Amino acid sequence: MSTETFRALMARKTDAGQAIAIETITEAELPAGDVTVDVEYSSFNYKDGLALKGMSRILRALPMVPGIDFAGTVRASDNPAFAPGDKVVLTGWGVGENWSGGFAERAKVKGEWLVKLPAGLTPRQAMAIGTAGLTAMLCVDALERYGITEGGDVLVTGAAGGVGSVAVRLLSRLGYKVSALTGRPAEADFLKSLGAIDIVDRATYAAAGKPLAGERWHGAVDTVGGTILANVLAATRYGGAVAACGLAAATDLPTTVFPFILRNVALLGVDSVNCPTPRRLAAWTRLGEILTEADFDLVTREVTLEDLPQVAEDIIVGGVRGRTVVRI
């Protein structure tokens, strides 16, 4: 094990809960994974904001390095599937929650959690979309597999956030007519630049509605849950589908069976944390095929480790647009 030191954002337990600080550590303070990665980029997600703020018990094994995803170059490997020099990406699997994650210059993880970056995707591009981009691609894939075809009217909720913004861009690129639901009217121009043809005021769907509303959407990507998801289901057309992947607004679902049994609407659950590796690789490959360099720049801003405490404050109150890539 190397005794070289490197920088890491560490979370440690205190009498008041937890403290976050940039420290200089060695590999001895990382878990005993079989692949060591020189981290080039990570990204900042809503879950990372919760982790740094000590909310929702995201960090379960202090002390540890937060950061639920990263991309970089294999430094050393005891896993036959990976060799030094391989470009890899990691999202999910509890990393950054119960296993030290990506907010450090080095990470040690289980090789089974890694995916080799497809040709054409750089570590920065992978983290420009990160977990949110993978989740968005899985949602789009779920709608496609269900039979929601290009040209259909599709709604994206929480559209100015990480998953939502990438979903808007992907769906637009694939030929869908995308409407973007947001509670931030100031982001209308940004969402239209991603390809949204219509901006839907969040207030339209925030209050409890009827069990069935007028049929409007062939499909939807929902990142928020709660009453908004219930109203989206009620407004989905016969035979349509909603891919649900988030709970930014609420964890409950105050709906009835009417959309499901009277309109044959499907609710498709999407998980990216424990998604099987073959599906992950397929999703990353498609992301590299669909999105251009301009797309990655369009949805992304770049920060450093020093910026992360403030980014955590911002993302919790809904003050972050699109994706935040962390230059390690």
Long-range CB contact pairs, 183-188, < 8 A, 24+? 183/318, 184/160, 184/318, 187/159, 187/160, 187/321
Structure tokens at 310: 């403030």
Burial class (CB in 10 A: 0-12, 13-18, 19+), 253: middle
pLDDT digits (tens, 9 = 90+) for 52-98: 998 878 898 899 999 999 999 999 999 999 999 999 999 999 999 99
Burial class (CB in 10 A: 0-12, 13-18, 19+), 288: middle
Q: Are 220 and 156 in contact (CB under 8 A)?
A: yes
Q: Are 218 and 195 in contact (CB under 8 A)?
A: no
pLDDT digits (tens, 9 = 90+) for 255-268: 999 999 999 999 99
- For residue 96, the SS3 value is coil
Cis status of the peptide bond prior to 84, with omega within 30 of 0: no
Structure tokens at 59: 């960090």
In this predicted structure, what is the pLDDT of residue 191? 95
Q: Which residues pair with 244 in a beta bridge?
A: 222, 269
Q: How many CB atoms lie within 10 A of CB 37?
A: 29
* Residue 46 backbone dihedrals phi, psi, to 5 degrees: -55, -40
pLDDT digits (tens, 9 = 90+) for 151-198: 999 999 999 988 999 999 999 999 999 999 999 899 999 999 999 999
